[in-house]
Structure 1
Amino acid sequence: MVDVVRLVETRLRTALGEPDARASVTFLGTERIEVLRFLDEGVARYATLGMSAAPMTDPAAVLADPDRGPRAELLLSVRVVPGGAVDQVLRALAMLAASPQVEGVVVAPGASLDVGEPLWPSAPFTSVLVAAGGGLVADLELDEPLEPVRFLPLLPMTPNEAAWKRVHGAAALEERWLRHGTDLRSPQRGSVPLND
């Protein structure tokens, strides 16, 4: 049996270098989820490790296939600021990575994921938009019948942005961020203008 998590960690190290910190979280009834932190010129990149150990399955499926189904890990990039409060995002990331096991959620680009509280102390964000992968870390191809592991970036959303996205869609919000030059790595940014 292929050790998917080991292959994922190798891919992360190849793409992002050596992690400077790691933490693990286990939720009742789930496999352990680790979060690795990579520092890169003033930006902290957090990557989950363990979400891809099993494929995500449609909650409506009668039986879960142990091999077939999408696999993913989550990536979050945030500018480092004094105080280190952003490092407390580790638990929120682990919760999001465990959501396929706990809630039967299939995490895919365009989805919103909400933790119901600030992503870290004093953060203006309680949810994230799942963006398309393939940029920062390339997909990890696995032998058939296993599907590739996709490394999906998470883009923090303010509550106003999350509400606007529910009405207008993910593509419209991403276009608005781009048009206004929104710094999505800023840990304390305000909401993008939503009524122009």
Structure 2
Amino acid sequence: MGEILALVEARLLTALGEPDARAAVTFLGTDRMEVLRFVDGDVVRYATLGMSAQPMADPTAVLADPVKGPRAELVISVRAGLADTDKVLRPLAVLAASPQVEGVVVAPGASLEVGEPLWPGAPFSSVLVAEPGGLVEDLELDAPMEPVRFLPLLPMTNNEAAWKRVRGAQELQERWLSHGTDLRDPLRGSVPLD
């Protein structure tokens, strides 16, 4: 477990540079989750470290395989200085712990809900899990372990989350793209959903 997390941290540092802050959160019955903060000009990125220590297990499986199964870490990027986004550390750690706590498999296209604003004043309490590979490349592990995928999280307003449940992740992403939505704006409003 520690060896995998050391490799994951090295991959994050290679892709994002040195973190300027880190915080650790431990939930009862789960492994410790860390959240690292990276500043890149006017963008702040928060990345989890700890979620990939164990593979995510199919919630219908009788026994969880300790080696095989998808592994991931979460990354969220926001514009700096517009909101107190450092408060996202705890909600992000909660999302990273959800495979251990709730037995969910976090994958692209999924919605994750935290039940409260991601940070003070945020119009978002849920995120859309986007496709990996753009910001941080997958980390290959020795077989039979699956690679660690670094999954970007895109904050969704309540209206967007409801629309996504009906229309799907692809249509929501196309809507954001066609309207030139700045998904890094920590205070943005909902995209028009007419």
Deviation at residue 2 of structure 1 after TM alignment: 7.0
Residue 74 (structure 1) aligns with: 74
The whole-number CA distance in structure 2 between the counterparts of 1:92 and 1:43 is 19
- Structure 1 runs of 4+ with >4 Å offset: none
Residue 167 (structure 1) aligns with: 166
The whole-number CA distance in structure 1 between the counterparts of 2:160 and 2:59 is 27
Deviation at residue 3 of structure 1 after TM alignment: 1.1
The whole-number CA distance in structure 2 between the counterparts of 1:26 and 1:18 is 23
| 1:68-108 deviation line (CA, Å, top 9, x unaligned) | 000000000000115x5110000000000000000001000
Unaligned runs of 5+ in 2: none
Unaligned runs of 5+ in 1: none
The whole-number CA distance in structure 1 between the counterparts of 2:84 and 2:15 is 25
Kindly report the root-mean-square deviation, in angstroms, between the aligned alpha carbons of the 2 structures. Answer: 0.9
The whole-number CA distance in structure 1 between the counterparts of 2:34 and 2:185 is 24
* Structure 2 counterpart SS, 1:23: strand
Residue 90 (structure 2) aligns with: 91
Residue 106 (structure 1) aligns with: 105
Kindly tell me: are residues 49 and 110 of structure 1, through their superposed partners in 2, closer, same or farther at Cα, counting changes over 3 Å? same
Residue 35 (structure 1) aligns with: 35
The whole-number CA distance in structure 2 between the counterparts of 1:162 and 1:17 is 32
The whole-number CA distance in structure 2 between the counterparts of 1:172 and 1:109 is 14
* Structure 1 counterpart SS, 2:124: coil
CA contact (8 A) 2:141 2:148 kept: yes
| Percentage of matched positions with identical amino acids | 76
